[in-house]
């Protein structure tokens, strides 16, 4: 009975260590929220996606997103940390992106990545807001002047 207990305990410990090792391998992308109409820096931490050599290049593919630069920042054991500079020119909403990891032997691994695009303060919107504000101020001043003229005429009239 004790022998059965020790075997079960050993199997349980091995299973926990195996799961913990797999949980340590993670993909971390920051930020996951991109602003439309802007150039942004995206940091990516990649786990070892396959045995052997580490990745040599990383690309972010998504509709309306242009990758400007990709730079390896560091290797952390089997993991690697990358910096991607991107320009986001797509409509706000959910974005299905793909991280394409390239290796020295020409092999690639594609990893799907969900992201979100939020509206940015574009020039056209700020111009429209400025124009609307100017029209509103002019209309307010015109009404105030008209009200003042009506008030002055009433005082002059006998």
Question: What DSSP letter does each residue of 52-70 carry, written as one string?
Answer: SSPEEEEEEEBTTEEEEEE
- 55-96 pLDDT tens trace: 999 999 999 999 999 999 999 888 999 999 999 999 999 999
Average model confidence (pLDDT) across the chain: 82
The pLDDT-based confidence of 13 (bands split at 50, 70, 90) is very low
Residues 47 and 111 in one domain: yes
Residues 90 and 150 in one domain: no
Residues 111 and 46 in one domain: yes
Range of the domain at 35: 25-118
Residue 19 falls within a domain, yes or no?
Answer: no
Domain of residue 76, CATH code: 2.60.40.10
Residues 31 and 102 in one domain: yes
Q: How many helices (H) and strands (E) does the chain have?
A: 2, 8
Model confidence pTM above 0.85: no
Average pLDDT over residues 132-158: 78
Residues 83 and 140 in one domain: no
Residues 114 and 127 in one domain: no
- Going by C-alpha positions, the residue among 107, 101, 109, 100 that lies closest to residue 65 is 100
pLDDT at residue 24 above 50?
no
Residues 83 and 63 in one domain: yes
Structural domains in the chain (count): 2
Residue 95 falls within a domain, yes or no?
Answer: yes
How far apart CA 110 and CA 58 sit, in angstroms, is: 10
Residues 82 and 129 in one domain: no
Residues 50 and 95 in one domain: yes
């Amino acid at each position: 009975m004790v022998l059965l207990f020790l075997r079960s305990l050993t199997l349980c410990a091995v299973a926990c260590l195996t799961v913990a090792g797999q949980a340590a391998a993670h993909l971390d992308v920051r930020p996951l929220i991109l602003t439309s109409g802007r150039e942004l820096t995206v940091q990516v931490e990649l786990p070892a996606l396959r045995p052997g050599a580490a990745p040599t290049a990383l690309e972010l593919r998504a509709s309306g997103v242009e990758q400007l630069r990709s730079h390896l920042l560091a290797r952390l054991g089997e993991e690697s940390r990358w910096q991607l500079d991107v320009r986001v020119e797509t409509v706000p909403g959910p974005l299905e992106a793909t991280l394409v990891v390239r290796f020295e032997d020409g092999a690639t691994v594609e990893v799907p990545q969900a992201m979100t695009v939020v509206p940015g303060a574009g020039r056209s919107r700020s111009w429209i807001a400025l124009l609307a504000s100017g029209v509103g101020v002019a209309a307010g001043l015109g009404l105030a002047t008209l009200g003042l003229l009506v008030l002055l005429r009433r005082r002059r009239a006998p």
